Amino acid sequence: MKAQAEKHSLSSVVYEKILSSIISGDFSVNQKLPTEADLCERYSVSRPVLRDALARLREDNLVVSRRGSGSYVINRPDSAVLEFAQISSIADIQRCFEFRTNIESSAAGLAAIRRTSEQLDTIWARYEAIHQANIKHDRATNEDFEFHLAITEASSNHYYATVLKSLNKSIKEGMNLTRGLSLLASEERLKIVQDEHLAVVTAIVEKDQHKAAESMRIHLENARRRMFEGTSS
């Protein structure tokens, strides 16, 4: 167990070092990365640790592996990412989004069939709070968190809300990053995010369990991808 944790910790460090090199342009788009042997030597890690880091970079659509050729950079995140999060926290932010996708999708599905009228009113109020913050171009990190928390509370299973509260700091760090980048992007980006929120609320209103879970999953997966979309998209 300890060895596995150390591997994940090391792979996160390597992930962030390669990501930093991509953002800085040291590894440019369409450039082939050094060989696995060279990267292992550069970062003083084993091949399994390096491969875990490369797998994460592939999941984030930053590199692609070409059989018999090696790994190539295919996307360069906007340097504005580093205005809202330290490079040393980005791997954890990505993994937090990954974890939230499963937890919150399940909670949204349950909220659709269990929510009370009072809980629905709270969800709508917190959705509107985000809308008002968008109008004022506020970061709205707290409003966003409270919206997601209200949905977990409407699941009528206190474990979902307990998990979200326990991850408050990590979740808000991710929200601060994605919402900050959205504010730097076009008005359309803010609208897209709020439309995703509306899709979740609408499904809960309609008591459609599958649609609510799927809408939340799509929203969180899109939020994770938006980290590396840049501010011009």
Question: Domain with 39 in it: what CATH number?
Answer: 1.10.10.10
Q: Residues 6 or more apart from 100 whose CB is under 8 A from it?
A: 167, 171, 220
What CA–CA distance (Å, rounded) separates 54 from 70? 11
For residue 193, is it within any domain?
A: yes
Residues 115 and 178 in one domain: yes
For residue 81, is it within any domain?
A: no
Q: How many structural domains compose the chain?
A: 2
For residue 123, is it within any domain?
A: yes
Closest CA to 86 of 13, 11, 185, 28: 13
Residues 16 and 100 in one domain: no
Residues 40 and 126 in one domain: no
Residues 115 and 215 in one domain: yes
What CA–CA distance (Å, rounded) separates 214 from 233? 24
Q: What is the pLDDT at residue 187?
A: 83
Residues 60 and 147 in one domain: no
pTM of the model: 0.85
Q: Locate 115 and state its tokens.
A: 């929510």
What CA–CA distance (Å, rounded) separates 69 from 32? 9
Is 40:50 a contact under the CB 8 Å cutoff? yes
- Out of 17, 49, 73, a domain closes at 73
Residues 22 and 66 in one domain: yes
Give the structural domain span for 109: 86-226
Q: What is the pLDDT at residue 88?
A: 80
CA distances from 120 to 106, 126, 150, 199 (A): 17, 10, 9, 14
For residue 233, is it within any domain?
A: no
Is 185:159 a contact under the CB 8 Å cutoff? no
For residue 111, is it within any domain?
A: yes
Q: What is the pLDDT at residue 228?
A: 83
For residue 232, is it within any domain?
A: no
Q: What is the pLDDT at residue 217?
A: 98
Residues 121 and 17 in one domain: no
Residues 97 and 45 in one domain: no
Q: What is the pLDDT at residue 186?
A: 77
Q: How many other C-beta atoms are found inside a 10 Å radius of the C-beta of residue 56?
A: 22
Residues 10 and 116 in one domain: no
Helix, strand, or coil (residue 154): coil
Residues 97 and 60 in one domain: no
For residue 195, is it within any domain?
A: yes
Q: What is the pLDDT at residue 183?
A: 87
Name the amino acid, one letter, at 4: Q
Task: List, run by run, the mean pLDDT of 10-residue segments along the chain (233 residues).
Answer: 57 93 93 95 95 92 90 91 85 92 97 98 98 93 97 98 96 92 86 96 98 98 84 55
Look up the CATH number of the domain holding residue 215.
1.20.120.530
For residue 231, is it within any domain?
A: no
Residues 110 and 199 in one domain: yes
Q: What is the pLDDT at residue 89?
A: 86
- Out of 28, 52, 73, a domain closes at 73
Residues 93 and 169 in one domain: yes
Q: What is the pLDDT at residue 192?
A: 94
- Out of 39, 73, 107, a domain closes at 73
Question: What's the burial of 55, exposed, middle or buried (CB within 10 Å: 0-12/13-18/19+)?
Answer: middle
Q: What is the pLDDT at residue 231?
A: 59
